[in-house]
Structure 1
């Protein structure tokens, strides 16, 4: 189905201002093209006959906001996505993190939690899990609720297992979960060192000091100014000589913090050089 172009630019700006004023969610620096596509999509899916109707619903009904955020923010993820990246974490980064007495990892924009569970499995296999904490945050409370349960569709497991093996996994992948009908539930001991909480990269402050921050395929939806703002937040949150991992289409190049980082292992992993 071709999505009708319901949303006009000036209407979109008014809506973003409304949301910022009423709910303190600031989407004004999100990439306009991406926002427009998603606003059009939400009008089609939720059967709004006009953009004015969507705007009225958002402003007058606070209970609709979580649904709106779920559609506007992007929650596409899979376990061990880009296996080569996870192989690099396993072979190059984790041995270095292992020298720390305690390891804090932040998964920013964790969506439904597949990446956090992938990291937990890597940490287990490196014998580092008991001295680690994984902070998994997202702007969207709905996906965090799902992430914290560790339940995923069985349909995706074959792909996850393939990714796991390509990332250098040595165990029987099925030992990490139990199957129930068309769902799989990951073992409780994988999530005991995870903390799930809402965090808005646009407006919330740094909340800890980390040795590793992963924020993959989130920043592509932000404009350059907002990316810079988020990079400064990560810089404040990262220990000297800590690592920042970005998605395939994201880069620290041309950012305001680039001079303090060095790209390593030919991956989208950047090492912080100093304060």
Structure 2
């Protein structure tokens, strides 16, 4: 009788994570155990592996299995102009505050398939700032990066994105920002022209530029506190003085030993500003 995946133990999770780290170099050991257990269980069930031992065997012997594993356990829910009130604050407060920089550098850390990045590109375009902005969009998942580069989104979600855009203060024709196909939409090439998509691992990679605004929304909720604090240090060292950090609704930096070096810009939308 096969082992029930719902009975995966902490020790078995550890074995999977250490196998992944030592064989492929991806460190998930400081991710939330509850989240990892749910995602690994879901992967086993959806991929047809009978139990944890069967998964370990295939992970250890087949790189293509690991590629699929990485793709599935690092995918996060995203949409354009998700949390419209957040984007309203970005539009009305943050963009005017960074508009005076000769080159505006923005980092979307954990960009997933690019919806958040395209939303920001539209806001910059509408503010007349996109041409002198450089947007760096990174993710641990190479599949996400390749998908985002193309700028293809399902057409059936566009109605929802239009509603989000309007709630976020948008007043233009949202349909003008993409080309519609049979079942997909392609974000306009000029909106993607100043975006650099690249693979980056928040756990192991270092500072690579200085930014006026960093987005990392709904990513750190999957990390334990020690890793969250490490990432806050990475962002602090990546921000210019008076640069802005935007986190997810359920995230904060107020637990961090760097909290005194940030001001709260919006407690509701979890936007902070580096002060020193």
Partner of 2:271: 269
Alpha-carbon distance in structure 1 between the residues aligned to 2:87 and 2:9: 41
Unaligned residue ranges in structure 2 (runs of 5+)? none
Alpha-carbon distance in structure 2 between the residues aligned to 1:264 and 1:203: 29
Alpha-carbon distance in structure 2 between the residues aligned to 1:240 and 1:65: 40
CA contact (8 A) 1:70 1:142 kept: yes
1:254 equivalent in alignment to 2:255:
yes
Partner of 1:68: 69
Alpha-carbon distance in structure 2 between the residues aligned to 1:265 and 1:36: 33
Partner of 1:95: 96
CA contact (8 A) 1:260 1:273 kept: yes
- Partner SS for 1:100: coil
Aligned-residue offset at 1:132: 0.2
Alpha-carbon distance in structure 2 between the residues aligned to 1:147 and 1:205: 22
Alpha-carbon distance in structure 2 between the residues aligned to 1:72 and 1:183: 25
C-alpha spacing 1:63/1:4, structure 2 compared with 1 (3 Å): closer
Aligned-residue offset at 1:63: 2.0
Aligned-residue offset at 1:214: 0.2
Question: CA offsets per residue over residues 180-233 of structure 1, 9 Å max, x none?
Answer: 011111110010000000000000001000000000000000000000111111
Instruction: Give the TM-score of the pair, scaled to structure 1.
Output: 0.97
- Partner SS for 2:6: coil
Question: CA offsets per residue over residues 239-258 of structure 1, 9 Å max, x none?
Answer: 00000000000001111211
Question: CA offsets per residue over residues 155-191 of structure 1, 9 Å max, x none?
Answer: 1101100110111112100111111011111110010
Alpha-carbon distance in structure 2 between the residues aligned to 1:151 and 1:231: 31
Question: CA offsets per residue over residues 4-62 of structure 1, 9 Å max, x none?
Answer: 41422211111111111111100000000010011111110111112111011111111
CA contact (8 A) 2:121 2:130 kept: yes
Alpha-carbon distance in structure 2 between the residues aligned to 1:65 and 1:75: 18
CA contact (8 A) 1:247 1:268 kept: yes
CA contact (8 A) 1:43 1:54 kept: yes
Partner of 2:128: 127
Aligned-residue offset at 1:265: 3.3
Partner of 1:240: 241
Partner of 2:167: 166
Aligned-residue offset at 1:74: 3.0
Partner of 2:211: 210
CA contact (8 A) 1:217 1:247 kept: yes
Alpha-carbon distance in structure 1 between the residues aligned to 2:231 and 2:174: 35
Unaligned residue ranges in structure 1 (runs of 5+)? none
CA contact (8 A) 1:97 1:103 kept: yes
Alpha-carbon distance in structure 2 between the residues aligned to 1:215 and 1:55: 31
Q: Which runs of 4+ in 1 moved over 3 A?
A: none
Aligned residue pair count: 272
Alpha-carbon distance in structure 2 between the residues aligned to 1:106 and 1:95: 17
Aligned-residue offset at 1:75: 2.1
- Partner SS for 1:263: strand
1:14 equivalent in alignment to 2:30:
no
